[in-house]
Amino acid sequence: MAPVSAEISKRGYKEYIIHTGQHFDDNMSKVFFDELNIPQPNLSLSLGTGSHGKMTALMLMELEIILQEKKPSGVIIYGDTNSTLAAALAAVKLHIPIAHVEAGPRIYDINTPEEINRIVADHAAKLRFCPDIVSVQNLAKENILNGVYFTGDVMFDSYLIFSKVAREKSTIINSLNLNTNEYALLTIHRPNNTDTEDALKRVIKVLENAKMKIVFPVHPRTEAAFKRHGLWESLKAINHAKVIPAVGYLDILELINNAKIVLTDSGGLQKEAFFAGKPVLVLFHTTPWPQIQSCGWQKCCWDNNGIDVNRVIELISSYMPTNRRPNLFGDGNAASKIVDLLENHGWFK
């Protein structure tokens, strides 16, 4: 949201930011507001933790009350989180127009929570801002034709703006004693890779057998999973793996920009690696960005039961795309185009 928020402010308009509390760890939340100069939330919900259903329901209840009180001219929602779903449901039932930023990506796996969230958000929205042409085509397949705009990707805006800031401010490369293009960056957080002992052992096996140094910033829920299954000490004992806490946005940009290759199950990180010109091994059975795979800049490493360890080990030191890296996600001015469209549709009164 950082580029959109900055553009709204630059034009003299007001926004009311609600932090749902879905991400409550400082390294997954507060640090982003601090580093990206996002205005502090006008309201932060304190909902604790719980199941997908419980958390979505609690957010829905609280958001409905706030929207009835504030009566906004519209609600902007981002991505595919449970917060996105709760805000979409709250707003659409109150007949408040919704603008969905990053509308249209699909992996066609209804068992993935993010897929449900994004489908509902896209169908509830009045305005749908697509990061790429494939997303526009996906919406057309669902007969969503009106209010659909290819704006480019706000994450690309952020990448271009904050990579420069990261080079100046981040010290993580030196603090971890890393050399450019001599390590792999690994992140995992999906339930498929963290909810069972077998899935976690596959991650450990990759780290133990990879012929390259691997930097592994550990998501809080991933760390909890390793500890729950008694594997945390085994993970930390791997000599050529640097297991570190989750890091802020500027640090992760520096880690991406200086890595040789990226291993991840994160859809967002897949894009950021592509922006940086880094090949990606996708630790999931599919990707929301098939066009990156089609142009040769990422490969899925998954067998019937989880991460395909042997394929990862084989590719981590040998995979180097030879195809040209096409421009898939716009020109870096998505936020300006989004706010133009919001103006044109009378959202700012």
**C-alpha distance from residue 345 to each of 15, 308, 342 (Å):** 16, 47, 5
Rounded mean pLDDT of 52-67?
A: 94
Model pLDDT for residues 153-176, shown as the tens digit of each residue: 999 999 999 999 999 999 999 999
- The per-residue pLDDT for 22 is 63
- pTM score > 0.75 for this model? yes
Give the single-character DSSP code of 28: G
Domain 1-153+330-345 CATH (choose: 2.60.40.10, 1.10.150.110, 3.40.50.2000, 3.30.2270.10): 3.40.50.2000
Q: Which long-range contacts (CB under 8 A, 24 or more apart) does 162-166 make?
A: 162/2, 162/35, 162/36, 162/249, 162/250, 162/253, 163/253, 163/257, 163/276, 165/35, 165/250, 166/249, 166/250, 166/251, 166/253, 166/254, 166/257
Query: Could you tell me which residues come within 8 angstroms of residue 48 by beta carbon, excluding any fewer than 6 positions away?
Result: 21
Rounded mean pLDDT of 31-60?
A: 86
- The per-residue pLDDT for 174 is 97
- The per-residue pLDDT for 25 is 55
pLDDT band at 63; cut points 50, 70, 90: very high
Model pLDDT for residues 246-283, shown as the tens digit of each residue: 999 999 999 999 999 999 999 999 999 999 999 999 99
Does this chain's domain 1-153+330-345 share its CATH topology with 172-318? Answer: yes
> Is the pLDDT score of 82 beyond 70?
yes
Name the burial class of residue 346, with classes exposed (0-12), middle (13-18) and buried (19+) by CB atoms within 10 angstroms of its CB: exposed
Model pLDDT for residues 308-330, shown as the tens digit of each residue: 999 999 999 999 999 999 999 99
Rounded mean pLDDT of 193-206?
A: 97
Rounded mean pLDDT of 18-41?
A: 74
> Is the pLDDT score of 57 beyond 70?
yes
Q: How far apart are CA 80 and CA 135, in angstroms?
A: 14
> Is the pLDDT score of 21 beyond 90?
no
Q: How far apart are CA 276 and CA 185, in angstroms?
A: 13
Strand partners, 267: none
Rounded mean pLDDT of 16-39?
A: 74
Q: How far apart are CA 103 and CA 174, in angstroms?
A: 38
- The per-residue pLDDT for 230 is 98
Which CATH code for domain 172-318?
3.40.50.2000
- The per-residue pLDDT for 36 is 84
Model pLDDT for residues 168-198, shown as the tens digit of each residue: 999 999 999 999 999 999 999 999 999 999 9
- The per-residue pLDDT for 24 is 53
Model pLDDT for residues 210-251, shown as the tens digit of each residue: 999 999 999 998 999 999 999 999 999 999 999 999 999 999
> Is the pLDDT score of 23 beyond 60?
no
Q: How do the domains of the chain map onto residue ranges?
A: 1-153+330-345, 172-318
- The per-residue pLDDT for 16 is 96
| Residue percentage of the chain with pLDDT more than 90 | 89
Rounded mean pLDDT of 103-130?
A: 96
- Tokens (6 digits) for 26: 């400082």
Considering the chain, what is the average pLDDT of its residues?
94
Residue pointed to by tokens 């707003």: 91
Rounded mean pLDDT of 60-68?
A: 97
| Residue percentage of the chain with pLDDT more than 70 | 98
Return the active site residues. Answer: 189
